[in-house]
Amino acid sequence: MSEQPHLLTETVDGVLIATLNRPEKLNALSRETMELFGEAVLRFRDDPELRAMLIRSSGRFFCSGADMKGDAGRKPPETATEIRENHRIGLFGMQSIYDEMEHIEKPIVCAVHATCVGGGLEMALSCDFRLAAKSAEFSFPEGLFGVLPASNGVSRLTRLCGPHWARWLVMANRKADAERALVMGLVHDILPDDGFHDAALDFCRHLTKNDPEQMGAAKIAIDLVAELGRDSARHVERMANSGLMLNPGYKRRIEDYIAKIGKK
């Protein structure tokens, strides 16, 4: 019997669902996983019928990180330059895929039902929304080996949660359960274990109902203003709205909203 694909995809109500599918390997990210995942990300980017993407997994781990045995036959990097280049273009293409996820002008949701570590956490950090089941747990084991999580683990974590909590996960090498992850700002919401995947899909369905132009503009604007001063950030808001308010759907929606309010 042939081995199951390391990643499964399906489409439900305009949502592309990508499911990590190596439960016997704790959903470690293999070369095959990342190749299939990269294809799914590009499919999501290019298909206008796909309005949201949901990343989830099966088994007792959400993801145990990169498959440490996946490149067993490959010569390891021997110089600092080779190591830096391997982080940038190697590691099964993780960095370029995660960068692309951030740039796509559509919402990507990660639904973490269990333990999520290393490269799996870096994948989650690259998403627009992170939902956690009560049983979820997050950590970066790289500190145990004397190195840093270098496929956005330090950079995106610090940007999202601040230096305070980045020190907790990266320097102190401590774990965060779902409750602490919510306090940190690492996840947006905690959902019950029972029915978790259905609830995550319902959230994605909610996202598909929003105006796609507004969603794309909001994703870009939020990333920009996070790096800008007050005045420049306000320019970004005005520039984004100057296009959105010319959208024919805007006038119709505002008129419908005013009429609805007037009936109350």
Token pair in block for residue 236 = 């970004």
End-to-end CA distance of the chain: 62
Active site residue 105: no
pLDDT score of 127 more than 90 = yes
Which of 134, 187, 139, 197 shows the shortest CA–CA distance to 160? 187
- Give the chain's radius of gyration (CA, Å): 20
Q: What average pLDDT score do residues 78-93 get?
A: 72
Q: Residue 226, SS3?
A: coil
In a domain, 254, yes or no: yes
138 pLDDT band, cuts 50/70/90, is very high
Residue span of the structural domain in which 254 resides: 212-262
Q: Are residues 136 and 195 in the same domain?
A: yes
In a domain, 2, yes or no: no
pLDDT recorded at residue 167: 96
Q: Are residues 23 and 65 in the same domain?
A: yes
Q: Helix-strand-coil percent breakdown of the chain, rounded to 5?
A: 50, 15, 30
CA distance 176 to 201: 24
- Final residue before a domain boundary, out of 208, 225, 246: 208
Catalytic residue, chosen from 24, 85, 100, 122, is 122
Active site residue 122: yes
**0.95 surpassed by pTM:** no
CA distance 204 to 186: 18
pLDDT score of 1 more than 50 = no
Q: Are residues 80 and 99 in the same domain?
A: yes
In a domain, 86, yes or no: yes
pLDDT recorded at residue 74: 65
Question: How many domains does the structure of the chain reveal?
Answer: 2
Q: Residue 96, SS3?
A: helix
Catalytic residue, chosen from 142, 213, 237, 255, is 142
**Residue 133 β-bridge partners:** 191
Q: Residue 16, SS3?
A: strand
CATH of the domain at 151: 3.90.226.10
